Structure formats: C-alpha cells, structure tokens
Amino acid sequence: MTQPITPPRRTSELVVERMEQLIRGGEWPVGTCIPAEPELVRDFGVGRNTIREAVRALEHTGMLQPRRGDGTYVRSANPFAAAMSRGASSAALDLMQVRRALESEAAASAARSASARTRAKLRAVLDRAEAALAAGDLETYTREDVGFHTQLVAAAGNPLMVEIFDGVVEAIAATHAEITATSAAHTGLHPQGHREAIDAIDAGDPEAARAAVNHYIDELEAEIKRA
C-alpha cells in the first residue's frame, strides 16, 4: 500500500513557527515592538507578502498586536494566554478545567504532606492578597492571588505538577484582572474556598482540601459564564 504524500509546508507557516520561537524564547519579549517589515524581510530572507501573512496569523492568535502608527507589539508568549486576553470565554472555561484538576489534586497532596513552613507561606500570601483587596489595590491583589495558587500547587511537592502549572500561570494572570479581580471589586470579597483550602491542609484532610478548591473554581466558572 502506498503512503500518502505530505504536501510541502508553506513558507509563511515556517516563518510563523520561527516567529513563535523568537517570542517564546524571549528574543522578542512580551511588550516590545517587533522589527519593522524591511528588517524582517531581510532577516527571514522571504518576501513582504510572506512576512505580512505570518504577522497576520500571529495577530489572529493574539500573540502579536498591531498599534496604528506605532508598529506591531508582542502581546503574549503563550497562545492560550493570548486567547484569554481576547476574552474567549470557551478558552477561559477550558483553563478552569485544567486548574480544577491540578489545584484540587495539589491541595489534597499538600494536606497529606505539606510542612508547617509551607503551610505558613500559603497563609502569608493569602493574607497579603486579601489585605490588598480590602485596600482596593487590585494590581497587588492580582499578583498575590496568582502567587497563592502557584504556592498551592508547589505545596504538593511534585516537580512535574509545578512545571505543568507554570505553563498556565500566564493564562491565569491574563484572565484574573478581567474576571476574578473585577468580580472581587464589585463584591469586596475573595472567592470562597481559599481560606478553607488552607484550613483543610492544616487539618490534614485531603478530601476537604479538594472540596475547597472545587468551591472556588465553581465560583470562577460562574463568573466567566456571567461575563
């Protein structure tokens, strides 16, 4: 039986792939303007139309953002986070599903084995998040709350879980200001379940810790659907 012939890849697809590598590798940092079109034509050794097609493709994913009269800027190094920043509710709900799986299991594992020092660090970062919210400092609240969830996953003591979670931290931060922080600003309250998760970890109760995480993920999903 003959093997199907794979069509050659378009040049623009190869340029997109290389541009993504430059963004993810930090050579084109988030927030900076990419080189002008003549430079890209020279550096990639392709025509203007190919460069324009590649740039448009990355603008569509949200990794690049055009600014009229000012060039094209790197918006995100993570395509999933880029989707978040464009307000894609389906992608935001996908993110919640990933978070539920990782954070609930991390909380249960932490309840079994987290040290007193680890538990104290969790309480400290949550205290800072809630204090910032009470003061109306949403920028600090966002940073500290994202830090809490990062610390929660780290408390499981599983390096692979931490590595996987690192891949979605940018996406979490991208949704936080528009969803979590906005909701908290209206209510003045941190989504329920955070403090309960720490209490359950302190008590060595894996099931209660898992339930607490599910509680705050449920609240976040409801807020995304309302938005």
Extents of the domains making up the chain:
11-77, 87-226
pTM of the model: 0.63
3-state secondary structure 58-120: HHHHCCEEEECCCEEEECCCCHHHHHHHCCCHHHHHHHHHHHHHHHHHHHHHHHHHCCHHHHH
Token pair 């003061």: residue: 135
Asked whether 161 and 154 are in contact (CB, 8 A), the reply is: no
Which residues lie across from 67 on neighbouring strands?
Answer: 71
The predicted structure's pLDDT at residue 159? 94
CA distance 177 to 143: 10
**Residue 204, phi-psi category: left (phi > 0), alpha (psi -120 to 50), beta (remainder):** left
Quick one: tokens of 155? 């408390």
Q: Which residue has the tokens 């998040």?
A: 129
Backbone angles phi, psi at 6, to 5 degrees: -90, 120
33: which DSSP letter? B
Q: What is the CATH number of domain 11-77?
A: 1.10.10.10
Please tell me whether residue 183 adopts helix, strand or coil conformation: helix
Residue 215 tokens read as: 């509680």
* Contact of 227 with 106, CB cutoff 8 Å: no
Locate the DSSP E strands across the chain: 64-67, 71-74
Q: What is the pLDDT of residues 79-131, one digit of tens each?
A: 666 655 555 557 778 888 999 999 999 999 999 999 999 999 999 999 999 99
Q: How far apart are the first and last CA of the chain?
A: 53
pLDDT at position 91, please?
74
| Helix residue ranges, H only, the chain | 11-24, 37-44, 48-61, 79-85, 89-113, 116-134, 138-154, 159-176, 180-187, 194-203, 206-226
The segments of the chain whose pLDDT lies below 70 read 1-9, 79-89, 177-189, 227
CA distance 216 to 200: 14
At position 60, the amino acid (one-letter code) is H
The top-level CATH class assigned to 87-226 is mainly alpha
Report the pLDDT value the prediction gives residue 18, as an integer from 0 to 100.
Answer: 93
